[in-house]
Amino acid sequence: MSKNQISPLAPKNFPALPQIAGVLAATHSLGLYKSGRDDLLVVHFPNDAVVAGALTKSSTRSCDVNWCAEALKFGKAKALIVNAGNSNAFTGDAGIAKNEASVTKTRALTNCDAAEVFLSATGVIGVPLPPNIIADSLDEVWRKLAAPDFEQMARTISTTDTFFKGAGKSFELGGKTINIAGIAKGSGMIAPNMATMLVYIFTDAKISAGALQKMVSAHVETTFNAITVDSDTSTSDTLLVFATGEAGNNELGDDEVFSAALFDVMHDLALQVVRDGEGAQKLIKVQVSGAISAKSAKIIAMAIANSPLVKTAIAGADANWGRVAMAVGKSEEHIDQAQMSIRFCGQMVAQFGGAVAFDESQIDEKMQGDLIEIEVDVGVGTDSFTAWTCDLTHGYIDINADYRS
């Protein structure tokens, strides 16, 4: 857990998640934190798993992300290795050597192919680790493998997080019970070009790799690619979904029931990341409608959600709709100012290119809440997009000014 105060937007408790057959896990301390807390997570799939994912589009992505990009082409997993405290980004040959040593040792323990080992790391950029730091710990970690403790797993991968993030679902499909359980970390450096955080989701469903990848690619656009905390895209972040196939169901293709359940888990985790935005006091929902295309709606919504002026106004409980209008304009997307309208918390504040009269005392009361809704109709079409963000407070500066100390 971060030394920072728990977000006021945090859930009351970590959820009770279903166990996933075919998944074993263990955590361990590499000593990357002064406290000695666990900072290494290992997940093992004894009978293999199908895997799909989405990765950051950063052009300075880490050695681990580059490794996963190649491994995902094969769609099969035997192990996942994650460390917190060091991102293994901008570490050059030393970072590659660390990964090669970790994979070589894992292969010796599991008799698997190199492409079946997935790697992730999060933390400080540009500090090389000793090449065998993980490999030398794996014998001990393997002896500790057991049924997953999802809360401990989420705790282990956290960095500046103020609470541990988990979501899950169980449902009937074809006479079989299907379980999904996921964990995530993320609090800052959140501005999606996928994935801008670490997210690991596990299911016992039997599903083809192609169908799973299709679902993940579709859902990521309206979940993790629809959130932002600070407009900074991480070098390291990764979403991986593993399916062990041990539920006993017939192999799924484009199944709507499973797809909807997977979306729910992804959406839940994505919103938890925003709720834990560094220094956040308010959750902000930005709904853009009336756009010429879905792509245009998203660009406009993210321009609003990423605006420091909008976010600081919300922090001050100020329904400053002029800043929203500014953010719409800076997107340079096609709109009709004469038809545009803006609402704060359901209250119309601007319409047809100008202000409208409204009861400021009523909206001031609504702006004190912890969920602020901004609705903008840009008046040129029928497409829409919803983005999620949080306010920008002095707490964000305090956390990031002190990050490496």
Q: Please list the active-site residues.
A: 196
Q: How does DSSP classify residue 62?
A: -
Count of residues making up the chain: 405
| DSSP per residue, 144-189 | T-BS--HHHHHHHH-SS-SS-EEEEEEEEETTEEEEEEEEEE-SSS
Q: How far apart are CA 303 and CA 293, in angstroms?
A: 15
d(CA 150, CA 15): 9
3-state class (DSSP) for residue 85: strand
Relative to beta strand 283-291, strand 371-377 is: parallel
Closest of 226, 225, 207 to residue 49, by C-alpha: 207
Question: Which of helix, strand or coil describes residue 80?
Answer: strand
Nearest CA among 296, 9, 55 for reference residue 163: 9
Helix (H) or strand (E) holding 396: helix 394-401
Write down the residue that tokens 């809360």 correspond to: 151
* Nearest-angstrom CA–CA distance, 187 and 207: 31
* β-bridge mates for residue 198, sequence order: 185, 238
Q: 181 to each of 198, 251, 342, how far by Cα in Å?
A: 14, 19, 38
Q: Which of these, 30, 29, 99, 32, lies nearest to 67 by C-alpha position?
A: 99
Q: Which of 55, 44, 59 is nearest to 111 (CA)?
A: 44
**Helix 92-110 and helix 63-71: axis angle, to 10°?**
50
Tell which residue, 254, 182, 237, 301, has the closest CA to residue 56.
237
Tracing tokens 């279903």 back to the chain, one arrives at 18
